[in-house]
């Protein structure tokens, strides 16, 4: 597990790389951050995917604003800073950074060349956009924010996409969920799972809305999905 540097068209960004043990070659998973940066939560998730047997890489998408920032969800000041970074985030450039990072991941010597993406919160929408704009082999989004605003891109999805939706998500209200289900439910490449009674970030361990039962179910579905499409 190490911090590395990735060169992109606009400059250099850092990323956290975790390698699986006892595997000469393994598929890759690009882990896409929440609004708190590549913090302990994201590093633990990246380590977790490596422990499952993947080459896992989590790039710093806020590097243009504040490189290397690592916030928590434990104080109002950090929440305010996280929302500032989110509001200042250039989505198109962020997707570009992810596409560059995906190619970097595929070039890691331990990577088999097959690689997918998984994202949370902000990263949940970006995982959806990786399904519409990149050649990722499979993508998973947890409680993505704003997917309903990009449903016009749904026709571009040609690889498997799994979305986990929190029924009580304060950032994805019922009307938005209905739009997502109506638009994506007809796409044979897309699998949608809604989790009743849980709020945004239900899978963030230690978070205020963490729900172990829902998180365990979602994580199991994610593991099975990646085994099927990347294994």
Q: How do residues 191-231 score in pLDDT, each as one tens digit?
A: 999 999 999 999 999 999 999 999 999 999 999 999 999 98
Domain that holds residue 19: 2-230
pLDDT of residue 61: 98
pLDDT of residue 9: 86
pLDDT of residue 91: 98
Q: What is the pLDDT of residues 90-102, one digit of tens each?
A: 999 999 999 999 9
Q: What is the number of other CB atoms lying within 10 angstroms of the CB of residue 127?
A: 30
* Predicted TM-score (pTM) of this structure: 0.97
Considering the candidates 104, 200, 209, 229, report the single residue annotated as catalytic: 200
pLDDT of residue 81: 98
pLDDT of residue 146: 97
Considering the candidates 60, 73, 169, 199, report the single residue annotated as catalytic: 169
Q: Indicate which CATH number applies to the domain containing 48.
A: 3.40.50.1820
Query: What's the whole-number average pLDDT of the chain?
Result: 97
pLDDT of residue 67: 97
pLDDT of residue 1: 80
pLDDT of residue 218: 98
Give the number of domains in the chain.
1
For this structure, is 169 an active site residue?
Answer: yes
For this structure, is 10 an active site residue?
Answer: no
Averaged pLDDT in 10-residue chunks for the chain of 231 residues = 92 97 92 98 98 98 98 97 98 98 98 98 98 98 98 98 98 98 96 98 97 98 98 84
């Amino acid at each position: 597990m190490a911090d590395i540097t990735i060169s992109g068209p606009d400059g250099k960004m850092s990323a956290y790389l975790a390698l699986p043990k006892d595997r000469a070659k393994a598929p890759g998973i690009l882990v896409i951050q929440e609004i708190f940066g590549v913090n302990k939560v994201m590093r633990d998730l990246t380590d977790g995917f490596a422990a499952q047997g993947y080459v896992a890489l989590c790039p710093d998408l806020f590097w243009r604003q504040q490189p290397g920032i690592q916030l928590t969800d434990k104080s109002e000041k950090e929440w305010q800073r996280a929302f500032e970074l989110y509001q200042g985030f250039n989505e198109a450039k962020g997707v570009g950074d992810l596409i560059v990072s995906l190619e970097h991941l595929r070039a890691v010597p331990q990577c088999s060349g097959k690689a997918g993406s998984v994202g949370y919160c902000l990263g949940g929408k970006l995982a959806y956009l990786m399904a519409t704009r990149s050649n990722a082999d499979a993508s998973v989004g947890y409680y993505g924010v704003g997917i309903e605003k990009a449903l016009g891109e749904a026709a571009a999805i040609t690889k498997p996409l799994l979305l986990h939706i929190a029924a009580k998500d304060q950032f994805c209200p019922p009307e938005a969920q209905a739009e997502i289900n109506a638009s994506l439910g007809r796409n044979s490449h897309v699998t949608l799972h809604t989790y009743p009674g849980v709020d945004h970030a239900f899978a963030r361990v230690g978070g205020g809305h963490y729900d172990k039962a829902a998180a365990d179910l979602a994580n199991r579905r994610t593991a099975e999905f990646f085994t099927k499409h990347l294994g």
